[in-house]
Structure 1
Amino acid sequence: MSVAAVTLRSMSVPVSVSLAADTADEPVRRSRPALSPSRAADFKQCPLKYRLRAVDRIPEPPSRAAVRGTVVHAVLEDLFGLPAADRHPQRAAELVPGAWDRVRADRDDIDQLVAAGGPEALFEEVRRLVESYYELEDPTRFEPHALEERVEVDLAGEIPLRGFVDRIDVAPNGLLRVVDYKTGRAPGPLHEARALFQLKFYALMILRTRDIVPAQLRLIYLADKVLLTYAPDREELERFERILIALWQAILEAGRTGDFPPNRNAMCRFCDFQSLCPEFGGTPPPYPGWPQQDSAPVELGLPDVRPPEDV
């Protein structure tokens, strides 16, 4: 596969203003429910899973895959912090221990995930994924506009959307590309809709914050070296906006009634909440109620660490 072109020649919509310029100094609002791509997907997949994650805030044990993905993201962020000429594969490999130290410092419950093989075994897994990145893009040939960008918008004036974007590129001709890294395998045809859902979510937030339709959105699947690209248009994003509005209304109604029914499906085998799910003989905890506007600070839409499906 050829290295991705960095001039974004196929793009057609210019951007003329910094995406972070007018929000970087504002305090992050954390006291009301919000919707992120992951939490929206949770509710669509299983309302009970959404409730246990977003309302009850029940801790989930970290997985090796999630920790590995977080370290890969940290390495790629550090890589783009270097001068372009220094972003070669050997230097990227050298960044892995430092990225691991930062991730480990933020979480005190992940040492057991590397106890058997030690951190070096994890480091080697991370290095292989980072090496794959070089077969898809050449990081020495462009400067990203933003890294790990937190994007927020109130949709329709009342639906708070939240999300982290791994990278935003602005081409010399002013065209915008949104990039997200994935350390899992690329989805097959039956599961591409979930990946496109996340891309459309990001595109809609950019549209509503800047009145710009991103010319390209790109998912980079490192495990099998696949690029998934999407070129949105305004009409499609407006239709997607109506879908999110309806989804949010359904979430609010569930929050009002406390009715978050389980939905048994193929993803249940990966769920950490089976012991609390009636479909598996469990009992959910008493419903704590929907958070009020003046409740203690919570962030229902954006978890503290990226869930496995986001890495």
Structure 2
Amino acid sequence: MTAAAVPPLALVSGPEEVLVERAVARLVGAARASGADVIRIDAAGYEPGALAMHASPSLFGGTTCLVVRGLHESPDELQLDLLALLGAPVEDVSIVVTHGGGMKGKKVLDTLKKLGAEVIECPAIKSDRDKSDFVLKEFARARRKITSDGVRALVEAVGKDVRELASACAQLIADTEGPVDDAVVDTYHGGKVEASGFRVADAAVAGQAGEALRLLRHAIASGVDPVPIVAVLASQLRQLIKVGSAGRGSSAQLAKTLGLAPWQVDRARRAVGHWTADGLAVALQAVAAADFEVKGGGRDPVYAVERAILTITRARAGH
């Protein structure tokens, strides 16, 4: 990168730490490529006057990039020092500020924006829709293709933690060739707790009692706790109810409205036609009872999940 790639002021805004780290790394990389010295300043433990000292011209000349992390947790002294520096900018000094959200540091944020800082948004990645979009972007950035089933399998297997999801994408991109589908994902991540739970839930919702019980026993034998399996069962049933009562519309439209990923809408649509409202109510009650038992209310957690699975498969229309 050249010096022109380094903005004099940059604000990295949002709570998603993985995205924040990437944005800061890109800006720091650009600064270093231009020959700048990079100085990192954390809000926690800030000493008054430190910013002015680091921004003062060096006897040897050169440029400096100040990276201020955690403005949302900063003491008043840091905010005042930042405002002073922004009010009287020093030549050859660029400033990168990160802010995780909230009202603290608002005056500094407003000043940065008024001065034309480059703003990089790092919104939280929480819903399965957000995670699916993240996976698609990771593969698109690497000019690789991942199928919709591959996205679904990856989010189900490692979607609890965005950092782990990013790492899993990087591993698949580095270690495989050609399109990545659910079979490829299963090879790398099929043994994860979440993946096991989703397989059990898929079979139960499809009315496949024998297969669901087989998968459950395999998961338990592999060390999977019954609690997350019950949580996935509940989640799958809630998705059926959401999609079943949402009416018509494209998968993308409904996904946006319901906070789901399009593949979740498609899967629920395929399944919901086999269910009645009464059947779903019975299934949810069974899962609620199992949830109570696996969290200490019953004597045999595994038996509680087995009983819930049998009730769910019987509650499905046609059983």
> Hey, which of these two has a bigger chunk of strand by percent?
1
Larger RCO of the pair (alpha carbons < 8 Å, separation 6+): 1
Which structure has more helix as a fraction of its residues?
Answer: 2
TM-score by structure 2 length?
A: 0.21
Which is higher, the Rg of structure 1 or of structure 2?
2
TM-score calculated relative to the size of structure 1: 0.22
